[in-house]
Amino acid sequence: MSSTTANHSFLVENWNTETLIIFLHDLDINLDEDNFKILRKQKIDGQIFSDMTERKFMKDGMKQRPVMKLEK
């Protein structure tokens, strides 16, 4: 892993839920408010997000297509 990737990963792990949502919104991957509500409800912050899998996202209520975008 490059130092840039490692630094970016370290930063994401320190994000709170709202900072994570702003970042995902700015990526313009067509996540909608329903997806962001799930992140808020489940209190997914940067540290948790780093460990999430497709299965975990779907268990929390997200649909498959948005999850596939998050996995990329």
Per-residue pLDDT tens listing for the chain (72 residues): 444 445 555 689 999 999 999 999 999 899 999 999 999 999 999 999 999 999 999 999 999 999 999 887
Report pLDDT for 72: 75
Gyration radius (Cα) of the chain, Å: 12
Structure letter (DSSP) for residue 6? H
Q: Global pTM?
A: 0.81
pLDDT at 63: 95
Q: In this predicted structure, what is the pLDDT of residue 6?
A: 53
**Structural domains of the chain ordered from first start:** 3-71 (1.10.150.50)
CA–CA dist 42, 61 (Å, integer) = 10
- Contact (CB, 8 A) for 35 and 70: no
Q: Residues 50, 23: contact at Cβ < 8 Å?
A: no
